[in-house]
Structure 1
């Protein structure tokens, strides 16, 4: 069943990227989707864990929230840069990530990096080293709002 979803997803993606509906190009598209499905089927046989296309509602919720955070941070960084240079107070700190499941820690670190004004420098031993343009950004991360949102959407034990 999940191969059908992957076939649909890959076919639509291929059509959107190519933009051409000509017999030769459609044939190449069908062949490439078929090859990917064969590889996916073989991978499923080896690891006994089928990979499902999309996570549905969780993914939509997460990306909607993340885009909002990126927009808000962009406005904040713009005000910070255009304002007085006294407001810029670069900081480097370690943020604990013990409450986030190991497989979602990279998602958390990337979310920090995608948010303007902050950068995940290292993820090691249950801590993320973060650089920020303003020390208040580090304090917000330490308060755990982003961590709570990720564990709320993706679950603590998933």
Structure 2
């Protein structure tokens, strides 16, 4: 019984110290009042990045505005592109390795004020390609694009946290 009490006290002390030093779980993002009701302006509302960024904003407590006029700030996504490049080929000149990349350019404004100037971010991952498993490779590429979109949404959210 005494060991259990000491264990509970040690865990409580560790939690108190972690909270006292400002530790927060990585998933928790606190947005400024300027970002409580943003409008997300993008060239295509059906991309993986748009979906991930919308979900991240809502998870952080933001209520997305239906129009620019009713928004506290406007997040402009100027570029939202993904693609792939061949990294290596075999002796038969068939691809052996690809790199999947995702690029965005974004900025944030509030009325006439520029809160965040236009910025560009690119993330990339590579994967081995097997021409005997084309469908599996297509699925892997799709999952990589979704993961890259999640990474970019996280990068944008961390940047929005500083506003």
Could you state the TM-score of these two structures normalised by the residue count of structure 1? 0.23
Q: Which has the higher helix share?
A: 1
